[in-house]
Amino acid sequence: MRPAFGRVTLRPLDELTDTDWRRLQSHFRDPEIAYLNGTPPNRMPLWLLKRLLKTDTRRPDRATFGIFDERGDFIGTTELYDVRGDVATLGIIIGERTHWSAGYGPEAMHALLAYAFDALGLEVVRLETFGDNLRAQRAFRKVGFQEVDRRVDANGRIDVRMELLRERWRQLRSESAPSASGPDLAERSA
Ligand SMILES: CC(C)(COP(=O)(O)OP(=O)(O)OC[C@H]1O[C@@H](n2cnc3c(N)ncnc32)[C@H](O)[C@@H]1OP(=O)(O)O)[C@@H](O)C(=O)NCCC(=O)NCCS
């Protein structure tokens, strides 16, 4: 299963090369990315990180993909987690700074959301982000997410909750460029 949209292709983690895994580790270790995600920088050795993430791929409540750009370079990860019934939570890290604010995040989300709503048949995709992550909120709004709640968390940071319903996603897709319902949304086989 390789969901694709625009310049981006999503591939399952078991297709990552050693170079991709080293890049993924550097993304997880990056202090700024860790701050944006509200986690401490990951200090695990590569073999352990790889083992944990690969074990996670067998969980029925989670679908994690590597994000690849138009040159086939690994640029980050995105996932649906806490998949329960017809609801899931979206996570995304474009780990390569060279690819920030260049539309790759929204394209990866379009691919993941097509997978979530069309292939898995989910009704709602949720996410949480921090109030100071304006780039993320802007990207999430672009693909149709709407803010549903905002509150101060236990650490004093503003926690923003957003969600997107399948009906709204389909409506927005049908209103967007003709290519949105065409080959871009197809799975790529190579
Ligand atoms: C968040 C993320 C997925 C967004 O993907 P992206 O590809 O960078 O998103 P976009 O290309 O749509 O760019 C974001 C938009 O925010 C704007 N933006 C960037 N920094 C901004 C800031 N400080 N304030 C307001 N807007 C900002 C950009 O100009 C762009 O808007 P535009 O296209 O209208 O010019 C990606 O940047 C990323 O993974 N960042 C690191 C980890 C992270 O924050 N993950 C999300 C945790 S919830």
Domain limits of the chain?
4-185
- Residue 1: predicted pLDDT: 79
Q: In the predicted model, what is the mean pLDDT of the chain?
A: 94
Give the residue whose CA is nearest to atom 47 of ligand 1.
37
- CATH class, domain 4-185, is alpha beta
34 lines ligand 1 (CB under 6 A): no
Q: Tell how strand 4-5 and strand 74-84 pair up.
A: unpaired
Q: Ligand 1 center to residue 105 CA distance, Å?
A: 7
69-113: pLDDT as tens digits: 999 999 999 999 999 999 999 999 999 999 999 999 999 999 999
Q: What is the pLDDT of residues 30-52, one digit of tens each?
A: 999 999 999 999 999 999 999 99
**Whole-prediction pTM:** 0.94
136 Cα–ligand 1 center, Å: 5
Q: What residues form DSSP beta bridges with 66?
A: 11, 77
What φ, ψ does residue 3 adopt, rounded to 5°? -60, 145
Cβ neighbours of residue 128 under 8 Å, at least 6 residues apart? 89, 159, 160, 161, 162
| Ligand 1: centre distance to CA 100 (Å) | 6
Residue 186 has pLDDT above 50, yes or no: no
The pick from 98, 101, 112, 133 for probing ligand 1's pocket by mutation, whose C-beta has the most ligand atoms within 8 angstroms, reads 101
Give the model confidence (pLDDT) of 142-151 as tens digits. 999 999 999 9
